[in-house]
Structure 1
Amino acid sequence: MTFPVVGMVGGGQLARMTHEAGIPLGIRFKLLSDTPQDSAAQVVGDVVVGDHRDPETLRAFARGCDVLTFDHEHVPTALLRELEAEGIPVRPGPDALVHAQDKGVMRARLDELGIPSPRHRIVAGPADAAAFAAETGGFPVVLKTVRGGYDGKGVWVVRSAGDEAAHEPFRAGVPVLAEEKVDFRRELAANVVRSPHGQAVAYPVVESIQVNGVCDTVLAPAPGLPEAEAVRAQELALTIARELGVVGHLAVELFETRDGRVLVNELAMRPHNSGHWTQDGAVTSQFANHVRAVLDLPLGDPRPRARWTVMANVLGGDYPDMYAAYLHCMARDPQLKIHMYGKDVKPGRKVGHVNVYGDDLPDLRERAAHAAGYLRGTIDE
């Protein structure tokens, strides 16, 4: 039997970890990467360097693949429709992926489905944003460019009609979405995986702790979340995956409000930072299940291996010698799982993550935070 070739568009750390998950399955990977130095390009054997926005480059790459999938949402929808018309399986397909590419399209579709979201409207300029604020209880409001934003980029909190931030989003030349600034208690994430024939699995709902708009720590499962509410969040994510026709991994980022509601914040149709804990903390990782889903293989067990798993992102700082740093972390805590992405260290850049699991949540949080801080260079003992 000839094992299938999975074509991954995008050479970042998500592609790197997805490739790793496919190795035990005997899956052959082919990568379309921006540069030979990208995280996944360092470890995948079959790499094409090129621009995913170029039709001929993408078409030539796809012809050597049995299925096409992604580690980002930036491939133009029109190009993906052309590939589908030529008989190349694209998973998730363009009709689903557009909901992760365009926040305006996503909000409109969720409204149609009756899925709870922050109050929102497409606005034409600062005056229109001020009118929206007046209708929804006043400033502050959140302005987002509908395309291109991630990790806090493309997002502005506007605190008054005269705030300079009210003008910034409109300079990007794309539509702008205004949303109410939700008074949330914490952020949650529901991660699910769905296959072409409709099989789906749901991971435990997690708490995602953000610092400056970037995920810092994930607690799996979300502490103190009542079982009934966790099940409702999982059902919400499964409903979105089914109704949008998602194939592969879907992350539904959620706000848990102070009055007990759960609102959908963002969607991501690829492996996601809030699911990195599954590499060590779940029976089947998000990466392995994404590979299974895009190939329409039976999905793996998403249940956790331990009562708690804590994931902490490692961000670059002023301390570039990660190798010496993780030797210390391994010696200090042999149960720690360190995952490095092969990236150059730059301040604020995600260069790796650590996982630790067990029965004592405060202890796990301290150990994960210490390792991430030591690797970044913010602590030295």
Structure 2
Amino acid sequence: MIGGGQLARMTHQAAIALGQTLRVLAASPEDPAAQVSPDVVIGAHTDADALARVAEGAAALTFDHEHVPTELLAALVDAGVNVAPPPQALIHAQDKVVMRRRLEELGAPIPRFAEVAEPSDVDAFAARIDGPIVVKTARGGYDGRGVTLAADLAEARAVTERYLADGTAVLLEERVDMRRELSALVARSPFGQGAAWPVVQSVQRDGICVEVIAPAPNLDDDLRGAAEQLGLRLAGELGVVGVLAVELFETVDGTLLVNELAMRPHNTGHWTMNGAVTSQFEQHLRAVLDYPLGATAPIAPVTVMANVLGAAHAPEMGMDERLHHLFARLPEAKVHLYGKSERPGRKIGHVNVLGAAGGSVDDAAYVAEVRERAVRAAHWLSHGEWTDGWDEHGA
């Protein structure tokens, strides 16, 4: 796996259960996956020699991020390496302009967009859509980086000019009037088998996913089916091997629009580690190794994943003591920590909480109670304080 982050770390856990060894290309021995994998190559994902070393003798080469130059991957393919997903598929998760063009060709529902060659293109696009504009870098953005929700035309023009001056390709999109964000997570094998997990709702703050509710509450059956089928169709049309996350907008008028694609395990699939028959990490390995895919059914009426983000000021209480108090108070919480140092806004782990049997994902009170426990647990691990004022020592 190219990349030594938390996705590779959690994929390594799944590899152990399958009797496999996961070799990792990490930038540093301190990377999350490098801390736990016995087979690590230290190097850059832009270094052809490092890529060749990590691929040598491997049954398959896959990714925990999409930033490897496709020309380097094409050279590996030419050398006989089984790259999964292949570079001709991965490019659609690397370059938003390429992705938008291809989705338009396939008739997939997308926001109106425009490629930018010069600043005047912003004015032309604004006149065409007559509404707010989102300015995106075509490559490299994630967790809200490289995305500007322009307040007005002047800001859209200024941001575009700054990107273009830096030699950065720019994509313009209309800002969607949405009800919420959804994610359709699917997997596809080289044999062509596909599998879809339930569509989930993701909650974003400052461009970062902070919470996932699985399945998405009060989602129309037709819309749910359409989202799952869209994910499976795109996986097939684009030639994906492995996990594909299709991030979606559910608009206020009840339609779906594709926002982003990711061809790897994804934050919106972390709930599957405890809440589904087969986790996204096991499924990704099954797919790239061309095993039959696993069952994707949920094992609880609702599972809520809450990300543990570094606090503005790290708590005086160490993480081990925070875990002690969390497990004493919420023994049902399933914690996954990434081995990262704490810094503001950094994803250092996540918590999964499953709802009790007999509930319904469409019962607002039931879902709210599970959400509260998951958020309370994650906030405690981040800040060392309880959202409900609990005094762990006084209690």
TM range (shorter): over 0.9
Taking the aligned partners of 1:374 and 1:61, their CA distance within structure 2 comes to: 38
> Which residue of the other structure, out of 330, 335, 344, is the alignment partner of 2:341?
344
Percent of aligned positions that are identical: 56
Aligned 8 A contact 1:325 1:375 in 2: yes
Taking the aligned partners of 1:133 and 1:322, their CA distance within structure 2 comes to: 49
Taking the aligned partners of 1:303 and 1:172, their CA distance within structure 2 comes to: 46
1:235-262 deviation line (CA, Å, top 9, x unaligned): 0000000000000000000000001110
Q: Once structures 1 and 2 are overlaid, which stretch shifts more, 154-163 or 332-341?
A: 154-163
Q: TM-score, normalised by structure 2?
A: 0.92
Change in Cα spacing, 1:330 to 1:168, as seen in structure 2 (3 Å) is farther
Aligned residue for 1:375?
381
> Which residue of the other structure, out of 112, 115, 123, is the alignment partner of 1:119?
112
Aligned 8 A contact 2:189 2:287 in 1: yes
1:142-195 deviation line (CA, Å, top 9, x unaligned): 011110000000111222232243433324412100000001000000000000
Change in Cα spacing, 1:188 to 1:378, as seen in structure 2 (3 Å) is farther
Taking the aligned partners of 2:244 and 2:165, their CA distance within structure 1 comes to: 31
> Which residue of the other structure, out of 99, 116, 132, is the alignment partner of 2:125?
132
> Which residue of the other structure, out of 137, 149, 154, is the alignment partner of 2:146?
154
Residue 281 of structure 1 pairs with residue 275 of structure 2: yes
Structure 1 residue 126, shift from structure 2 partner:
3.3
Taking the aligned partners of 1:344 and 1:12, their CA distance within structure 2 comes to: 13
SS of match in other structure, 1:9: coil
Q: Structure 1 counterpart of 2:127, which letter?
A: A
Aligned residue for 1:260?
254
Matches within 5 A, 1:72-221: 72-138=65-131, 140-163=132-155, 164-221=158-215
Tell me the C-alpha RMSD between the 2 structures: 1.1
> Which residue of the other structure, out of 316, 319, 330, is the alignment partner of 2:314?
319
Structure 1 residue 328, shift from structure 2 partner:
1.2
Aligned 8 A contact 2:41 2:53 in 1: no
Aligned 8 A contact 1:16 1:39 in 2: yes
1:59-87 deviation line (CA, Å, top 9, x unaligned): 12211311100000011101111111111
Runs of 4+ in 1 over 6 A off after TM superposition: none
> Which residue of the other structure, out of 304, 329, 332, is the alignment partner of 2:329?
332
Structure with higher strand content: 1
> Which residue of the other structure, out of 31, 53, 57, is the alignment partner of 2:46?
53
Change in Cα spacing, 1:162 to 1:378, as seen in structure 2 (3 Å) is farther
Change in Cα spacing, 1:287 to 1:172, as seen in structure 2 (3 Å) is farther
Taking the aligned partners of 1:122 and 1:270, their CA distance within structure 2 comes to: 26
Taking the aligned partners of 1:368 and 1:125, their CA distance within structure 2 comes to: 46
Structure 1 residue 234, shift from structure 2 partner:
0.3
1:280-315 deviation line (CA, Å, top 9, x unaligned): 000000000000000000110000001000000000
Taking the aligned partners of 2:370 and 2:159, their CA distance within structure 1 comes to: 39
Q: Structure 2 counterpart of 1:184, which letter?
A: M
What is the count of residue pairs matched by the alignment?
373
1:111-143 deviation line (CA, Å, top 9, x unaligned): 0000010000101243311220111013x2001
Aligned residue for 2:10?
17
Structure 1 residue 57, shift from structure 2 partner:
1.6
Aligned residue for 1:363?
369
1:201-249 deviation line (CA, Å, top 9, x unaligned): 0000000000000001000000000122101100000000000000000
Taking the aligned partners of 1:40 and 1:361, their CA distance within structure 2 comes to: 33
Q: Once structures 1 and 2 are overlaid, which stretch shifts more, 221-230 or 156-165?
A: 156-165
1:331-360 deviation line (CA, Å, top 9, x unaligned): 111111000000000000000000011133
Aligned 8 A contact 1:143 1:169 in 2: no
Q: TM-score, normalised by structure 1?
A: 0.96
Residue 65 of structure 1 pairs with residue 61 of structure 2: no
Aligned residue for 1:27?
20
> Which residue of the other structure, out of 221, 227, 243, is the alignment partner of 1:227?
221
